[in-house]
Amino acid sequence: MRKRRLGNSDLYVTELGLGCMSVGTEEKAARRIIEAALEEGINYFDTADLYDFGENEKIVGQALKDVREQVIIATKVGNRCHSDHSSWTWDPSKAYIKEEVKNSLKRLGTDYIDLYQLHGGTIEDPIDDTIEAFEELKAEGFIRYYGISSIRPNMIRKYVEKSNIVSVMMQYSILDRRPEEKALPFLHEHGISVVARGPLAKGLLSDKLLEKVSEKGYLDYNYDELRAILPLLKEKVAASRSFTEVALQYNLANPAVASVVAGASSPEQIRSNANALRSQPLSSEEVAVIKEITKASIYKEHR
């Protein structure tokens, strides 16, 4: 599987990553999904301390233990879980980050994290302290690089201005083109990679597209709009290829994107996504058609 450099780091991530939140808590089933990802050549695995209150990190770490040097493990921090696992609170403080990284390392069964990401945040956070925590962890060898997970333009700009982030994880898809307006060009200009999540828009951009349309719509698309747009996209750009191919390749057509992180709840789903990434990239004409069909989507105001 093709790889791309993550920002200005020496990490080369596969164009398809596995979003591990979806693998579940049954260890044998989860291991089969992760092993299928490895068999397909995927080297990038994304988890978080919040997923299943730490259980996801344990499962991921155990499944990758024997290939640790060949894979890139990304995890996240910032959500402090309550002791009874009833909920969590936001805590981007230096003290918490430096304490929690040790817990993540223990759960993952490793002595370093390849990419440590702030799991959200607002402009009111103690950003200087947060950055200091990441820089110290990097100097101490606990993490190799760090990034943020955010779609907030002000947050992204602040971290680009003040920190050495190599990546920003954000939601991005054919049906959610918000990042194209400002974030993607800005990050590409500064040599920072995007890790795209939600590429299939909750299944709307898979081959079961119309089966997934809800009366509630999706983001600012209402039911009728989706029933009109999705078949049109299929007719114009997916007549001779799967819709999953189109959706994943659309994200990768943007030069700012290093990897598309997709979840999977079965080995078959992993294999399907991997096959989609081995397909022919979209032509500039196909990308233009998609943008024309969905051009209003990036201008909708209350997304």
Active site residue 221: no
* φ and ψ of 96, to 5 deg: -70, -45
Q: Which residues of 224-248 are buried (b: 16+ CB within 10 A; e: fewer)?
A: ebbeebbeebbeebbeeebbbbbbb
Return the structure tokens found at 31: 């291991």
Q: Which two tokens stand for residue 189?
A: 């200009």
Q: Are 217 and 225 in contact (CB under 8 A)?
A: yes
Catalytic residue among 44, 51, 218, 250: 51
Residues marked as catalytic = 51
